[in-house]
Amino acid sequence: MNPVMGGLSLRMLKNTLIQAIEAGANEIRRFTDIEFKVSNKEGINNLVTEVDHASEKAIFGVIQKAFPDHYILSEESGEIVQDSQYKWIIDPIDGTVNFAHHIPIFCISIGIEYNNKMVLGAVYNPVLNEMFIAERGKGATLNDKPIQVSKKEQVASACMVTGFPYTYLDTPNGPLQVFERFIRKGVPIRRLGSAAIDLCWVACGRFDGFYEHKLYPWDSAAGFLMVEEAGGKVTDFEGGDYSPYQPHIIASNGIIHDELVKWVGDKL
């Protein structure tokens, strides 16, 4: 079955999504062994490189050739507003600091909304050659093989992952306070530097849970769908419905989710 949305089939969207990811990845590979320009955005180490822009341009080219009337939201260029039921949410390189330092934990992340609901997402790490794809109601895959979240039953025995914002949030129960809570209890918690990869690794069971205080839509648009379609759960910090347009996120295998909300919210 190939669902049709607004005159477009899911297969058409998925084919273009994969082509866009591949176009961005080709640009990233082109810069593998050559120097590239690096500059700062807001925050001391909030980097952007010319490769981010090259990847984004290549991605845009594929999408706009296939669907010139679709809305686009991208980290580097912002919004290309169109009166459309479709919105492509793009991070041409998620994990730019890693990429700029030749650390192979970064990816291209693209999510597609239809009528304000995420229906497709893809996350690709061109170094590890790992392509994660999620389709609403049809599950999630890693390199075309179905993935599922872990079966861990308690936060105390979980393997966790998180990230810190470049502009630190000096607020009660902020990133350091929550991080300290986990490490004082001996819970292994990692910081990889790419929220999209963090979410995909929850989806495939490498991590049992993930939280972060300050994300943008392009950080989580594809990844949160990946977790849900792999059988996990994604909410805000209070355990309510998640939207990529608000900053707080908790994602888990679902089994530990209610407990994880309490850990993050300091309500144990």
| Sheet-wide strand order for 145-146 | 78-80, 71-74, 86-94, 107-114, 117-125, 130-135, 139-142, 145-146
Q: Which residues, 6+ apart, have CB-to-CB distance to 201 below 8 Å?
A: 161, 192, 207
Residue with structure tokens 């209610």? 258
The pLDDT value recorded for residue 48 is 60
Classify burial at 127, counting beta carbons within 10 Å of its beta carbon; exposed 0-12, middle 13-18, buried 19 or more.
middle
Cα 158 from chain centre = 21
The pLDDT value recorded for residue 268 is 80
Alpha carbon of 85 to those of 19, 20, 114, 115, 244: distances in Å?
A: 21, 19, 5, 5, 17
pLDDT tens digits, one per residue of 210-242: 999 999 999 999 999 999 999 999 999 999 999
Query: Residue 90 belongs to what H/E stretch?
Result: strand 86-94
Classify burial at 173, counting beta carbons within 10 Å of its beta carbon; exposed 0-12, middle 13-18, buried 19 or more.
middle
Instruction: Answer yes or no: same fold for 4-146 and 155-265.
Output: no
Question: In whole angstroms, what is the distance from residue 93 CA to residue 106 CA?
Answer: 7
Give the least confident one: 7-16, 18-27, 137-146, 167-176: 167-176
Domain 4-146 in CATH 3.30.540.10? The answer is yes
pLDDT tens digits, one per residue of 113-126: 999 999 999 999 99
Locate the domains of the chain by residue range: 4-146, 155-265
The pLDDT value recorded for residue 1 is 43
What CATH number was assigned to the domain covering residues 155-265?
3.40.190.80
